[in-house]
Amino acid sequence: MARTTPRMTKKRRRAGPGSSAYRKVKKLSLSIIGAGRLGTALAIALTRAGHSIELIVAKHLSSARRVVRLSGAQAVAASVEQFRRMPAEEPLIPKDLIIIATPDDAISSVAGDLAQIMNQGRIRRLSSSPVTLHTSGALSSDILSGLRMHGLSVGSLHPLVSISDPRAGAESLARAYFSVEGDAPAVRLSRRIVRDLGGQTFTIDAQRKALYHAAALMASPNMTALVDIALEMLSRCGLTPDRARKVLLPLIKSTLDNLATQAPAQALTGTFKRRDIVTVRRHLEAITAEHLPEALEAYVLLGRRSLELAGHRAAEDDLIEKILREALNRDLRFS
């Protein structure tokens, strides 16, 4: 099996007060399975926090080597196939923690690989309570339940942050809230990891993980899609995509600033907050004239929600609702 960096002791800088290495009683020994954006960001952040990554596994060896290089970890890089054929003499499974950072549909398969390796006696138990965590936002720790019979505690650890670039993502983890759930030892270790990274944790009902993840989707990826609709509308006004994005960003940031200090009902501004019927009609006419069906659907759906957020019901609400419904029905008839 290829090792990307030689096993050799590095000369370490002396840690000073305030550094993560200075704070820790002992570093963790861990492996990361999965070399996507989140797995890479975790490898970078955990290495910076002073933890020891022993093994990084990816679908392709080149991807695992890339994570080792970016993180600076003194780790073995392996493909999935190499991991499945791991010889007994290779001490590749860490004593404290295995993180499965693969796509959701691969987690069960990875757990099966781990169970098979354990059944064959090819994992040395180096800890009294080793932990396996997955990073899915939609799945609970139950998907790893088969590993409990091998003495592992299982859990899930999901950072509520958008990671489009691993290096920037590693920085974002320090400001993130992480959803944690699972067996008690797994939850304790998850909370320690998050503290070491600088983040914070919260817990939810494990049976509602899918709903939690859908909420996260609404707040981030779907918000990106909504911005893309707004950019399309601005392009019809003559702005280039780059220019449209630049002029929208201050508005988006000001909205987020408002939400940082106010509940949505108080942070809401604009046409539906004022119940401005004339402007609603003009908006709908303009969107319909440009043949933007997705923009129209989003406008109607979010307009209705804005009316609810606006507070006490006003006399104009029924008329606005009627205008929205008629515009949507008219568009559906002619689409």
- For residue 224, the model assigns a pLDDT of 96
- On whether residue 211 sits in a domain, the answer given is no
88 & 236 share domain? no
24 & 89 share domain? yes
Exposed, middle or buried, 163 (CB in 10 Å: 0-12/13-18/19+)? buried
169 & 34 share domain? yes
- On whether residue 13 sits in a domain, the answer given is no
258 & 320 share domain? yes
194 & 259 share domain? no
Number of Cα atoms under 13 Å in the Cβ half of residue 88: 5
Report pLDDT digits (tens) over 127-175.
Answer: 556 899 999 999 999 999 999 988 899 999 999 999 999 999 999 999 9
182 & 102 share domain? yes
Q: Range of 77's domain?
A: 20-206
Identify the band that residue 313 occupies on the pLDDT scale cut at 50, 70 and 90: confident
The total number of structural domains that make up the chain: 2
Identify the band that residue 10 occupies on the pLDDT scale cut at 50, 70 and 90: very low
225 & 141 share domain? no
CATH of the domain at 147: 3.40.50.720
- On whether residue 4 sits in a domain, the answer given is no
Query: Among 206, 240, 273, where does a domain finish?
Result: 206
d(CA 179, CA 318): 40
pLDDT at 92 over 60: no
- On whether residue 11 sits in a domain, the answer given is no
50 & 168 share domain? yes
- On whether residue 254 sits in a domain, the answer given is yes
237 & 176 share domain? no
- For residue 37, the model assigns a pLDDT of 97
CATH of the domain at 262: 1.10.1040
119 & 176 share domain? yes
- On whether residue 287 sits in a domain, the answer given is yes
- On whether residue 311 sits in a domain, the answer given is yes
Arithmetic mean of pLDDT over the chain: 88
49 & 103 share domain? yes
Q: What is the pTM of this model?
A: 0.85
190 & 271 share domain? no
pLDDT at 310 over 50: yes
- On whether residue 216 sits in a domain, the answer given is no
- For residue 86, the model assigns a pLDDT of 73
Query: Among 206, 230, 259, where does a domain finish?
Result: 206
